[in-house]
Amino acid sequence: MDAAEFAPFQDKVTASLVQVTRTVNHLASEDLNFHRTSSAELTESIDEQSERILSLASAVLKAATGETDLPLPKLEDEDSIEDNWRGVVDVIDSLLEKADACLDEFTGVIKKLSPSQEDQAAAAKKPQKFPTIYDYGPSKIPKPQVLFDRKVDNSNNGPFKPLLRTKPHEITPLEQSLKTQQTEGKEAYPSPYDAEIRAAQYPKPVYEVSPPIDYLPFESTTATFVDTLDGVKEMLEELKAAKEIAIDLEHHDVHSYQGLVSLMQISTRNKDWVVDTLKPWREELQILNEVFADPKILKVLHGSTMDIIWLQRDLGLYVVGMFDTFHAASALGYPKRSLKYLLQKFVNFEADKRYQMADWRVRPLPSGMFDYARSDTHYLLFVYDNLRNELIGASNEDGNLIDYVCERSKNEALQRYELPVYDEKNGQGPGGWYDLLTRNAGMLSKEQFAVFRAVHQWRDEVARAEDEGWQCVFPKHMLFRLAQTMPLDMPTLLRTLSPMTPITKERAVSLLDAIKEAKIAGATGPEWRDIAPPPKTTFKPTATQLENTDFPVAERCEKSQFWGNVLDFNQPPPPPQYSLVASNEALRLSLPLPPMPATVSEAREQLGITDEPVPAPIEQPEFAPEPSAPAENKPFTVKEMGAPRKRKVTPVNQPEKDILTLDGSDDLEMDQESKKKLRKKMRKEKKAQKAEKAAQEATPFDYGAAESVLNSNPTQAPGRQSRPKKAFNPYAKALEAPSGVRKIKRDETGKSLTFRK
């Protein structure tokens, strides 16, 4: 994806994230727990969506941790999110780290080493029979730098001195070119071929339109693998006879602090070579400067920014008369500038990009890797022919695109390699902590910022000593985790860096000491915001405006003007005390009450009440309190808990006895004969009452002797016995509802003893 495709993709992703954020904030502002209780359907729908979101999040986490050493956080329910939140943060940090590396590759800061997601998916389906660079554990391949004639020096003492022993095609003598000079406030060696690169004149065919020369078929031709010094010399003789050559490199930087040029591919119109640059005599390849520094031979490269640096650092090679096809594609306004795009456009060839993540140190070189390396330069001269013709055709009086591309290519060739000096104080330079924190801004306290700097420096020192990449010590997300956690004991350190690399495990004690010292020193040290870059402003006042205008001076406030004292850990303020007067006044202002009279007399006058004699209060007789009776010696019972008591069984021979109660009289205990007599008497009395009532109802009503109903009591009906009116009960219907079964209070079993006070 190039810049033209990335912009709409970024806008689409940003719009989606904004919409998701708005939706989440809207849901968070609603009282979902309250709405759950209002509707069973809503509760079921919310639970269903929660399960769906959890399953989607689990699938994303599983995909993100598929090819990493990070453990997979298990999200089974809402509570498990809090329990596994630290693991989720680690996965997100890992994804952000990969995105950071992809952006660096996209912007050209580093040469692309990792494939796209589509390439990774295609590579996962195919059996990989070669080691990859993504093995951050101990190197499975013996380090070739151990056998180099010139031992690797990862120290940052002094500037880098060019490796040149001879200087073919020189304008300035070698002795003069190897003298230090002041560059950007520090001493450094200039490029030995600085004058030669600036003065180089490109051959005339570069400015002439000519039909592209067809490339030889890839399948019917073979390339030569050069792994001996004699083979290099034979190749050199053939290269001297060429007018244009194509160059490309394969680099490895995982198990090396500075990196290693592992292969160099060179092609002419008729032949391809793949040179092994990991031999102990690798610096003898300087003899290729007879061709590389010859301005009469055109050198075609694609994306040469890092290639120029690597050639100087490892092999002592410099390129004069270079043509970079990347800048040619940029000048023509192609939607993509990658070599893959150019090969598809002009050759209809697509290389197997899964070998981009191969470890190019492996020997012998597998056939697939060999063909992939060869393809980068086999078609490049044909691509150059097409680009040259298009550049000439697109040039006009306003500008010559060929000159534009040649000038840009010269600037690439003028680059100088500098040792990666570690700036402990400011964190500047390649691999410094300043750029890392700027691109990964976060809230770090003083102690955390000090620990971050100390751990970052410790990682750099270990990588230099072991000649390993930083990621082989521990990756970037582990660095931020250490700064946030600040472990002070070995178990916490091992748990924070899990899984821990063997290099770090051997030096865990020194890492723990560095964290402890940094945390103590950080209590009085600076914060990240004191060193962070100021926000960019577009307004730039002139000198006259600065003299005539009093601009406010920015000062650091003791507390945030936006948040106030929210971040301060103070005691909460006491609740406000409202007075009664204030409450009455607030009530009067809030309710439209009529004016109230000030005295009782005014109120009686407004209501029309006349003065009536007030009855004298009834004097109540004074009663002397009766003396309290002395407490009686009442018996009390003490029960002893025990097993359930057995139910008593009535003997069979004992006559049955009933207990009857008549009109509130005492209970009578009688046998069967007495009970029959009593029931017979009760039946006779009841029959007599019914007969008397029937006789009264049969007597006709005498209206003449009846009292008048005009002044009768309204509560008493005529001819009926006076009965009080039943009071209205508003809860009668509620009381008609069925009541629950009362709880039966059972006596606890056991023995009991009765005592008297």
Overall size of the chain counted in residues: 757
Predicted local confidence at residue 557, as pLDDT: 57
| Closest listed residue to residue 202, CA positions, set 365, 106, 98, 324 | 324
Spatial distance between the Cα atoms of 216 and 12, rounded to a whole number of angstroms: 44
Asked whether residue 157 carries a pLDDT value surpassing 90, the answer given is: no
Beta pairing partners, 274: 225, 265
* Res 143 pLDDT > 50: yes
| Residue of higher predicted confidence among 635 and 436 | 436
Helix (H, G, I), strand (E, B) or coil at 441: coil
Q: Report pLDDT for 661.
A: 44
- The reported pLDDT for the residue numbered 660 is 45
Any idea where the domains of the chain sit in the sequence?
165-413, 433-531
- 433-531: which CATH number, 3.40.50.1820, 3.90.180.10, 1.10.150.80, 3.30.56.10? 1.10.150.80
At 11, the amino acid letter reads D
Question: Which residues lie below 8 Å from residue 325, measured CB to CB, with a gap of 6+?
Answer: 300, 301, 302, 339, 342, 380, 383, 384, 387
**Residue 417 in contact with residue 160, Cβ under 8 Å?**
yes
Q: Where is pLDDT greater, at 65 or 666?
A: 65
With cut-offs at 50, 70 and 90, classify the pLDDT of residue 222. confident
Q: How far apart are CA 717 and CA 701, in angstroms?
A: 14
Mean pLDDT of the region 466-486: 91
Angstrom distance (rounded) from CA 637 to CA 582: 60
Residue 310 CA, chain-centre distance (Å), reads: 36
Separation of alpha carbons 239 and 168, rounded Å: 15
Backbone angles phi, psi at 190, to 5 degrees: -75, 170
Spatial CA neighbour of 310 closest among 249, 243, 359? 249
Q: Pick the range with the lowest mean pLDDT from 169-183, 211-225, 703-717.
A: 703-717
DSSP 335: S
Per-residue b/e over 530-556, b at no fewer than 16 CB within 10 Å?
eeeeeeeeeeeeeeeeeeeeeeeeeee
Structure tokens belonging to residue 538 = 């577009």
Distance of CA 438 to the CA centre of its chain: 17
Look at residue 447 and tell me whether its pLDDT is greater than 70. Answer: yes
Token pair of 469 as six digits: 């990449």
Name the maximum alpha-carbon separation found in the chain.
159
Cα separation values, 662 from 430, 529, 722, Å: 111, 98, 27
For 19-56, write each residue's pLDDT tens digit. Answer: 888 887 777 777 777 777 777 787 888 888 888 888 88
3-state SS of 469-481 is: CHHHHCCHHHHHH
Q: Is 642 left (phi over 0), alpha (psi -120 to 50) or beta?
A: beta
Q: What is the rounded distance in angstroms from the CA atom of residue 172 to the CA atom of residue 317?
A: 16
Q: Which CATH number fits domain 165-413: 3.40.50.1360, 2.50.20.10, 3.60.9.10, 3.30.420.10?
A: 3.30.420.10
Q: What is the pLDDT of residue 45?
A: 82
Q: What is the mean pLDDT of residues 276-285?
A: 95
Q: In this structure, are strands 668-670 and 658-660 parallel, antiparallel, or unpaired?
A: antiparallel
The mean pLDDT value of the chain amounts to: 78
End-to-end CA separation in angstroms for the chain? 101
What phi and psi, each to the nearest 5 degrees, are found at residue 447?
-65, -40
Determine the pLDDT at residue 571: 43
Distance CA 307, CA 325 (A): 14
C-alpha–C-alpha distance, residues 191 and 416, integer Å = 6
Any idea which residue has 């290639």 for tokens? 307
**Predicted confidence (pLDDT) per residue in 67-115, tens digit:** 677 788 887 777 777 777 788 888 887 888 777 777 666 665 554 444 4
Name beta bridge partners: 670: 658
